[in-house]
Amino acid sequence: MYTSKSPTLNVHGETRDTVVFILNDFIKTNLKLGYEYIGVIHGYSSTILKNKVHEILKKNKYVDSFKVDIFNPGLTIIKLKKVQN
């Protein structure tokens, strides 16, 4: 379950190109740390970053699922796949 203590990445002010590297690195790091749920703050005034974040998440093999937070449409909640040791 995603909580206020879950790791969250804020990509405000980033470009579509830099978001690719930052988000993939954030996912790999939190997977290694054993987190199941993480969040990405992309904002909701413009859908450019949100669309890019969702495009990246669809292609990432470590992402089990993701959804926009119903209480904050500027936040996407991501469920990571469990790592097999």
pLDDT for 36-82, tens place per residue? 999 999 998 878 999 999 999 999 999 999 999 999 999 999 999 98
What are the extents of the domains in the chain?
8-80
pTM for this model (two decimals): 0.93
Tell me: the pLDDT tens digits for 17-33?
999 999 999 999 999 99
Measure the CA–CA gap between 44 and 74, rounded to whole angstroms.
Answer: 4
Average pLDDT value for residue range 3-8: 95
pLDDT for residue 44: 87
pLDDT for residue 36: 96
CATH of domain 8-80: 3.30.1370.110
How many Å is the maximal CA-CA distance in the chain?
A: 41
